[in-house]
Amino acid sequence: MVNNIPVEVLLIEDNNEDAELTIRVLKKHNLANNLVHLQDGEAALDFLFAEGSNNVPRLILLDLKMPKVDGIEVLRKIKTDEQRKLIPVVMLTSSKEERDIIESYKLGVNAYVVKPVEFEKFVEAVAQLGLFWLLLNQPSR
Amino acid sequence: MKVYFDKKVLVAFLLALSILTSLGIYSYRNSQDSVITSRMVSRTNEVLYHVEELHSSHLEIEAELTRFVLTGDTAFADFYKNEINAAKEHYIVLLESIKGNATLAKGLDSIRLLGMEKVELINHVIMTRKNSEDSARMIVFSPYNRKLIKGINAAVENMQAEETKILDQRMTENQGDVTRFYTTFLTLLILTAVTIVVLFLLINKTLRARLQAEQALSRAAEEIKSLYNDAPCGYHSLNSDGVIIEMNKTWLGWIGYKREEVINKMNYLGLLTPQSQKLYNESFPTFKSQGFINNIEFEVVCKNGSSFYVIVNSTAIKDKNGNYKKCRSTAFNITDRHLAEEKVIETNKELEAFTYSVSHDLRAPLRSIDGYSKILQEDFSSTLDREANRLLQIIRNNAHRMGHLIDDLLDFSRMGRKELDRTIVDMNALVGHVRQELVSQEVNRKIEFTIKPLKEVQGDLSMMRQVWINLISNALKYSRKQQVSRIEIGCKNEDHHIVYYIQDNGVGFDMKYSDKLFGVFQRLHKIEEFDGTGVGLALVHRIVSRHGGKIWAEAHLNEGATFFFFIPSQIPH
């Protein structure tokens, strides 16, 4: 999956359908050119922290509940790493639980978005956050 | 000296004492009187004796004189001299004895005068006899001598009569005194007896009352002891070191120790698990200084090693200087409650885990159903006919609906678990905001809102907000079909509560279904008529209940509905 073009978006999502829908929306807005989709936290950590890895995506879309290593753990690792803590991380999750939201913000998440069930709203949410973080927002470097 | 007698007993006792004292004084004085009387009687007898002696001396002298005249025996002279001397002595005694009585003095004096005449006569006889017996006899038997003898006898008789008369008089007087004495004495004795009987009855009554009181007291003591020992809760007292100095049977029964193994031997610490020991060590000094402690929970270890939970309330007993002496504590066995609480906590955790997974796992497939249906509609619109599009839309509608159901159910569940954060809530501001927000979503509708001034409430702001959102959106929803929706919100004082109400002119409902109104997923209208999941009012009900309040509704079919609720200012425990 790793290619020479710098990764723009890293989507960490265990649900393939959700991932497909997300990617579809991003593609429609030309935001998924250099998108990498990983299916669990372990793979994400490998991708980001493997020896010699210089993968620094412009945006990480992170699901919360995943097998093996969950989203919170991935977030913690990213936000405690000197080099990678500047990467914007957006939680894209089904969970509306207060403790998840609070925990994520405590760890320094940049945004927390609850995936709407209704597809129109979902499309709207993903499109907006993609546009915002990849086009509107001024990154740290 | 402190007197413990009854007042009446004391009075009777003093009365008896005073009667006895007067009896004594009276007897003493009476015996003094009788001494005087007997002294007088003996004096009378003395007087009579000496008078008699004088009389007999006279008679003997007379007899000897006659014999002397006849015989001329010169021994008479000596005899006569002796008798005269004796008579003189009697006279001196009598003179002393009769002092003060004129009659007797007169009698004695005449005896003296006659005696002196007699002495002269006898001397004359003695002289004459020396010469002639006859002449002497003439003198002796002369009328003069006879007259002397008679005179002396008469004087003696007079004196005797006088003295006897005095004696009689005195005896009569004395007799009267004695009668009076006896009457008084007897009266006083009877009075004493009566007083003593009364005293006895009084003392008896007092003693009986005391005995009854003692019996009542001992019964009460028994009752208290039984109350202490057999109470359905534990009682105990600890000294300042925490040693158990009292403990009732119920407590001892729980822990399985004998009284003698515990009292003054065991420290309370010895009954606790290490965790409870820590709590005890932290709280005991505070308890001793502040004087009480309430609802503190300990886990207690029994003699057989098993354990149970108690909730303890204690009051400190302090001495005059305010130093801790001991405590009075109650202990309730709350093991059942504790187990139930643990169960509830466990169940809540399970429920939380369940809702968490529901929120995540059930929503994802729905999103896929909706998303892929939409993709079908978008990407294959050219090949799908109208019916296929309609069917896809039905699938999507149901996915949306299920999404709402899950969201509402989660909200409902979350509301049950969320901690209440009570503050003073300004209902006017809150209702104003909610109304504005909700009305802005309604288009092409005529809505007349009447919002009267609302009193503030002590409640959780976010929950109160939810209550008004749900109630106002309900009112808006069910009055949608009216040409003009009329909604009134206000509050009124009812039974010391501030009751808030919201009234609409909507479709209302039949009151026979009012019990279903606040149930989860309960709906009184068809989904085609009015959308919704049937959780809104259940959620409102749950919020109001958690605040210790009440919600109810009044309505008629097609005539609007009014919802009422109140929130007490403090949660009843």
pLDDT in tens, B150-195: 988 888 888 888 888 888 887 787 788 788 888 888 888 898 889 8
- Residue B303 and residue B405 in one domain: no
User: What is the per-residue DSSP string for B381-423?
Assistant: TTTS-HHHHHHHHHHHHHHHHHHHHHHHHHHHHHHHHSPP-EE
Region B425-452: mean pLDDT is 91
What is the model's pLDDT at position B571? 45
Which residue from A96, A116, A122 is facing B359, i.e. has the nearest CB?
Answer: A96
Calculate the dihedral angle through the C-alpha atoms of B214, B216, B218, B221, rounding to the nearest 10 degrees: -130
CB < 8 Å from A in window 190-219 of B: none
Region A125-133: mean pLDDT is 91
The answer to the question of residue A64 being in a domain is yes
Label residue B572 by pLDDT band (50, 70, 90).
Answer: very low
User: Domain range holding B398?
Assistant: 341-417
The answer to the question of residue B212 being in a domain is no
Tell me the C-alpha distance between B387 and B393, whole Å.
10
Instruction: Chain B: give the shortest CA distance to residue A92, in Å.
Output: 12
Label residue B553 by pLDDT band (50, 70, 90).
Answer: very high
Kindly report which listed range (A136-140, B375-379, B548-552) carries the lowest average pLDDT score. A136-140
Instruction: Chain B: give the shortest CA distance to residue A11, in Å.
Output: 16
Instruction: Answer whether B319's CB lies under 8 Å from B291's CB.
Output: no
The answer to the question of residue B2 being in a domain is no
pLDDT at B21 over 50: yes
Across the interface, do A122 and B372 touch by the CB < 8 Å criterion?
Answer: no
pLDDT at B491 over 80: yes
CB < 8 Å from B in window 36-55 of A: none
Instruction: Answer whether B50's CB lies under 8 Å from B208's CB.
Output: no
pLDDT at B487 over 90: yes
Q: What is the CATH number of the domain that holds A75?
A: 3.40.50.2300
Residue at a domain's end among B306, B333, B360: B333
Instruction: Answer whether B332's CB lies under 8 Å from B323's CB.
Output: no
The answer to the question of residue A4 being in a domain is no
Q: Give the per-residue SS3 of B191-204.
A: HHHHHHHHHHHHHH
**Which of A50-59, B107-116, B465-474 has the highest average model confidence (pLDDT)?**
B465-474
- Residue B159 and residue B259 in one domain: no
The answer to the question of residue B218 being in a domain is no
Q: Give the per-residue SS3 of B37-65.
A: HHHHHHHHHHHHHHHHHHHHHHHHHHHHH
The answer to the question of residue A2 being in a domain is no
The number of beta carbons lying within 10 Å of the beta carbon of residue B319 is 9
- Residue B189 and residue B50 in one domain: yes
What is the model's pLDDT at position A107? 94
- Residue B238 and residue B364 in one domain: no
Residue at a domain's end among B417, B439, B469: B417
The answer to the question of residue A13 being in a domain is no
Number of domains in chain A: 1
Kindly report which listed range (B136-140, B222-226, B434-438) carries the lowest average pLDDT score. B136-140
Which residue from B360, B371, B374 is facing A65, i.e. has the nearest CB?
Answer: B360
Residue of A nearest to B407 (CA): A96
Interface pTM, i.e. ipTM: 0.79
Region B520-536: mean pLDDT is 79
Q: Is the dihedral of CA B47, B51, B57, B60 positive or negative?
A: negative
SS3 state at B537: helix
Label residue B445 by pLDDT band (50, 70, 90).
Answer: confident
- Residue B281 and residue B405 in one domain: no
What is the model's pLDDT at position A4? 53
Determine which helix (DSSP H) or strand (DSSP E) holds B295, and give its type and residue range: strand B292-301
Lookup: tokens for B8 = 């009446």
- Residue B99 and residue B143 in one domain: yes
The residue assigned the tokens 């290490």 is B274
User: Domain range holding A75?
Assistant: 19-91+102-136
Region B393-397: mean pLDDT is 91
Residue at a domain's end among B280, B311, B333: B333
By CB neighbour count within 10 A (0-12 exposed, 13-18 middle, 19+ buried), where does B226 fall? Answer: exposed
pLDDT at B20 over 90: no
- CB of A18 within 8 Å of a chain B CB? The answer is yes
- CB of B372 within 8 Å of a chain A CB? The answer is yes
Q: Is the dihedral of CA B369, B374, B375, B376 positive or negative?
A: positive
- Residue B273 and residue B377 in one domain: no
Lookup: tokens for B205 = 């009554």
Number of domains in chain B: 4
Region B262-276: mean pLDDT is 93
The answer to the question of residue B20 being in a domain is yes
Tell me the C-alpha distance between B461 and B487, whole Å.
23
The answer to the question of residue B209 being in a domain is no
- Residue B435 and residue B410 in one domain: no
Instruction: Chain A: give the shortest CA distance to residue B396, in Å.
Output: 8
- CB of A93 within 8 Å of a chain B CB? The answer is yes
The answer to the question of residue B505 being in a domain is yes
Chain B hits for A101, Cβ within 8 Å:
none
In this predicted model, what pLDDT tens digit does every residue of A96-107 receive, in sequence order?
778 889 999 999
Region B213-241: mean pLDDT is 93
**For an interface test with B, which of A117, A121, A122 has the most B Cβ atoms less than 10 Å from its Cβ?**
A117
In this predicted model, what pLDDT tens digit does every residue of B42-101 receive, in sequence order?
888 888 888 888 888 888 888 888 888 888 888 888 888 888 888 888 889 888 888 878
- Residue B390 and residue B423 in one domain: no
For chain B, percent of residues with pLDDT exceeding 90: 36
Q: What is the CATH number of the domain that holds B477?
A: 3.30.565.10
Instruction: Chain B: give the shortest CA distance to residue A112, in Å.
Output: 15
- Residue B75 and residue B102 in one domain: yes
pLDDT at A77 over 90: yes
The answer to the question of residue A35 being in a domain is yes
What is the DSSP secondary structure assignment for residue B304, as one 8-state letter? T
B548: left (phi over 0), alpha (psi -120 to 50) or beta: left
Beta bridge partners of B293: B314
Across the interface, do B359 and A94 touch by the CB < 8 Å criterion?
Answer: yes
In this predicted model, what pLDDT tens digit does every residue of A28-50 receive, in sequence order?
988 888 899 999 888 999 998 88
Across the interface, do A18 and B367 touch by the CB < 8 Å criterion?
Answer: yes
A115: left (phi over 0), alpha (psi -120 to 50) or beta: beta
Tell me the C-alpha distance between B404 and B410, whole Å.
10
The answer to the question of residue B323 being in a domain is yes
Label residue B219 by pLDDT band (50, 70, 90).
Answer: very high
What is the model's pLDDT at position A2? 46
Instruction: Chain A: give the shortest CA distance to residue B382, in Å.
Output: 20
Instruction: Answer whether B53's CB lies under 8 Å from B225's CB.
Output: no
Which residue from B359, B360, B367 is facing A122, i.e. has the nearest CB?
Answer: B367
The answer to the question of residue A10 being in a domain is no
Instruction: Chain B: give the shortest CA distance to residue A129, in Å.
Output: 18
Among B298, B257, B295, B292, CA closest to B277: B298
- Residue B13 and residue B128 in one domain: yes
- CB of A64 within 8 Å of a chain B CB? The answer is yes
Across the interface, do A96 and B403 touch by the CB < 8 Å criterion?
Answer: no
Across the interface, do A94 and B403 touch by the CB < 8 Å criterion?
Answer: no
Tell me the C-alpha distance between B376 and B363, whole Å.
20
What is the model's pLDDT at position B570? 64
Chain B hits for A115, Cβ within 8 Å:
363-364, 367
Q: What is the CATH number of the domain that holds B89?
A: 1.20.120
For chain B, percent of residues with pLDDT exceeding 70: 99
Among A59, A66, A104, CA closest to A86: A59
Label residue B118 by pLDDT band (50, 70, 90).
Answer: confident
- Residue B107 and residue B142 in one domain: yes
By CB neighbour count within 10 A (0-12 exposed, 13-18 middle, 19+ buried), where does A113 fall? Answer: middle
